[in-house]
Amino acid sequence: MGVITFPGSLDDRDALRAVRLAGAEAVPLWHRDPDLQRVDAVVLPGGFSYGDYLRAGAISRFSPIMDMVIEGAKEGLPVLGICNGFQVLTETHLLPGAMLRNNHLHFICRDQRLRVENADTAWTNAYTAGQEISIPLKNIDGRYTADERTLDELEAEGRVVFRYVDGNPNGSLRDIAGITNAAGNVVGLMPHPEHAVEPLVGTGGTDGLGFFASILKKLVSA
């Protein structure tokens, strides 16, 4: 499983560790790599790629490796975008909508409860629909937005994967914390599952490990 590092990525090593803890081989990928090194899945980690100087994820979208990620995703390659990675996925239009500045205009960092709405994607099959999990959230551009038609389509097609519970931390429309594409191989979310994979760090729980166990299960059974 490959984890791409962009200039300004902060959580790439955490994501690599989460992959290893789930039992998969973790492959570091650089944003200018000429290929994906034959990985079976890709994680776009959190951070502030290119300092978010233009718009969160807007410059990373044009990194050379992203052409291969986009092509692969359209052919079924599993891709997980976490926080800044989610922002990159919206910039590439692999996922609809956009990420705006938090409605309170402040950076937020806290443990966040989520409800699993869709447990049928490549990245969520280890969970059950309706299950509530707690994983860290840290962002300033985390407010998910889309037009009403897109939001209605996401709802009708079961493509809202996670919702915030116990309070909306950033003003995301319809409490959306994560979504998927129609095929279920591309998932993006703002909270950080890679920070909730072992008892000694993060939330002190392992609620985030299911993301990486899910994709491993998917790949092994394919």
Please provide the average confidence, as pLDDT, over all residues in the chain. 95
The catalytic position among 31, 117, 194, 195 is 194
- Annotation says 192 is catalytic: yes
Under the banding of pLDDT at 50, 70 and 90, the label for residue 215 is very high
Confirm if 110 and 137 have CB atoms less than 8 A apart: yes
The angle subtended at Cα 115 by Cα 84 and Cα 190, nearest 5°, is: 5
Cβ count near 68 (within 10 Å): 16
Q: Which of 45-49, 93-97, 201-205 has the highest mean pLDDT?
A: 93-97
Q: Which listed residue (31, 83, 91, 195) is catalytic?
A: 83
Does 91 participate in catalysis according to the annotation? no
93 is catalytic: no
Q: How confident is the model at residue 197 (pLDDT cuts 50, 70, 90)?
A: very high
Q: How far is the C-alpha of 174 from the C-alpha of 97, rounded, in Å?
A: 13
Question: Over 90: is that where the pLDDT of 203 sits?
Answer: no
Which residue among the candidates 91, 117, 192, 195 is catalytic per the annotation?
Answer: 192
**pLDDT at site 129:** 97
Distance from the Cα of residue 23 to its chain's centroid:
19
Would you state the pLDDT for residue 51? 84
